[in-house]
Amino acid sequence: MTDSDKWLLRLYTAGQSPRSLVALENLRRICDEHLAGRYRIEVVDLLKNPRLAKDDQIVAIPTLVRQLPPPLRKIIGDLSDTERALVGLQLRKAKP
Amino acid sequence: MSEPRIDLLEAEELRKAIVGGEVDAFVVGRAEGNQKVLLLANAYQRYRQMVEAMQQGAVTISLEGHILYANQRFSDLLGIALSRLYTAPLQSYVGIADRARLSRFLAGGRRGDQLEIAFSSRDGTTVPTRLSIASYDGYASLLVTDLRPLEWARLAIEALDSIRNSVEQLNAQVRAEPPAKQALDSISEQINGLAQLIDALHAEPGRIDPRIDPNG
């Protein structure tokens, strides 16, 4: 796997809040189905360290940030709308 | 894509997520080092259920030392209904001699600090506990660990030592004057007492009667 194939996805959560848990579960499922073997997930718990919200200018939780490949993309919410998540990650083109 | 266009898309994304109920927390405070996470009320539910179910007591007190929150376990430890605990001074449940010590501990207010102190339950039983400060931001959230199971374990070990001594005595007596019936009776009583204690510990470690005498 080359560096250009790697996906680095950072999920901002708030401890065990219900939406955070759902987001993590949905993210893992999406990655297994669409990025198998070429992704890494970083979970940033903002309850433990709220200052980290500044790095990616996080406003609402959960929020997923695609760090790699560029460009940086941000998807707000628990990723339960798979279509919206895939479009947000640019794994699928938006329907016209 | 231009910056204003990105901001607009993100604002729309945020709106959709909020309307769809897909977020349950927000980051507020934009100043450096001042960010905080605000959880929507339902996001606390999991924590609340954990706190209510755990075997340790949990209590949050105000600056003046009044109980603002307590879990069911703390209520059980004291044998006092939750509805009566709220707003009561925490100090009123420790002995007079310990009140100054508790005050100093709370005034120190450092997360992780611990203090061993006894509470008085409604039926007059003394409940030795270890208090730990879980968080302190003006309000102090305390974890309360019941130390009686440790005491019961110590009693059980003492009882076992006692039995071992008795067996040694019996051996000596049997050698000197068989059949040594009196020593046998004594051992039998002690074994029964120990069995009673162990049964109680197995049944419900947090709630056995500490007055059970392992020596029968």
Segment holding B154, helix H or strand E: helix B148-176
* Local mean pLDDT, 10-residue blocks, chain B (216 residues): 75 90 89 82 78 87 87 94 89 93 89 92 93 86 91 80 79 69 72 74 55 46
Residue B38: beta bridge partners? Answer: B26
Q: Which chain B residue is nearest to residue A79, measuring alpha carbons?
A: B22
Closest CA to B153 of B197, B188, B189, B192: B197
Chain A residues with CB-CB distance to B45 below 8 A: 18
* Type of residue numbered B189: E
Interface probe, candidates B12, B34, B37, B135, chain A, greatest A C-beta count within 10 A: B37
| Interface confidence (ipTM) of the complex | 0.83
pLDDT value at A69 more than 90: yes
DSSP 8-class letter at B40? P
pLDDT value at A15 more than 80: yes
Tokens encoding A54:
């500044």
* Type of residue numbered B33: G
Confidence band for A92, pLDDT divided at 50, 70 and 90: confident
Position of tokens 């100093």? B104
* Type of residue numbered B115: L
Residue A65: beta bridge partners? Answer: A10, A74
Strands B67-70 and B36-39 turn out to be: unpaired
- CA B210 to chain A, closest CA, distance in angstroms equals 37
| Helix/strand/coil (H/E/C) assignment for every residue in A39-83 | EEEEEEECCCCHHHHHCCCCCEECEEEEEECCCCEEEECCCCCHH
* Type of residue numbered B44: Y
Q: What are phi and psi of B152, to 5 degrees?
A: -65, -40
Distance, in Å, from the CA atom of B22 to the CA atom of B33, rounded to the nearest integer, reads 27
DSSP 8-class letter at B145? E
Question: Do B142 and B129 contact (CB within 8 A), yes or no?
Answer: no
Q: Is residue B36 less than 8 Å (CB to CB) from chain A? A: yes
Number of other CB atoms surrounding residue B121 within 10 Å: 15
pLDDT score of B215: 47
Q: Do the chains contact at B27 and A15, CB–CB below 8 Å?
A: no
pLDDT score of A75: 95
Closest CA to B142 of B130, B131, B154, B127: B131
pLDDT score of A58: 94
Per the document, the length of chain B is: 216
Position of tokens 């729309």? B12
Is the pTM higher than 0.90?
no
Q: Do the chains contact at A78 and B23, CB–CB below 8 Å?
A: yes
What long-range pairs does A49-52 form, CB within 8 A, spacing at least 24?
Answer: A50/B27, A50/B29, A50/B35, A50/B36, A50/B37, A51/B33, A51/B35, A52/A12
Closest CA to B116 of B140, B132, B136, B100: B132
Chain A residues with CB-CB distance to B6 below 8 A: none
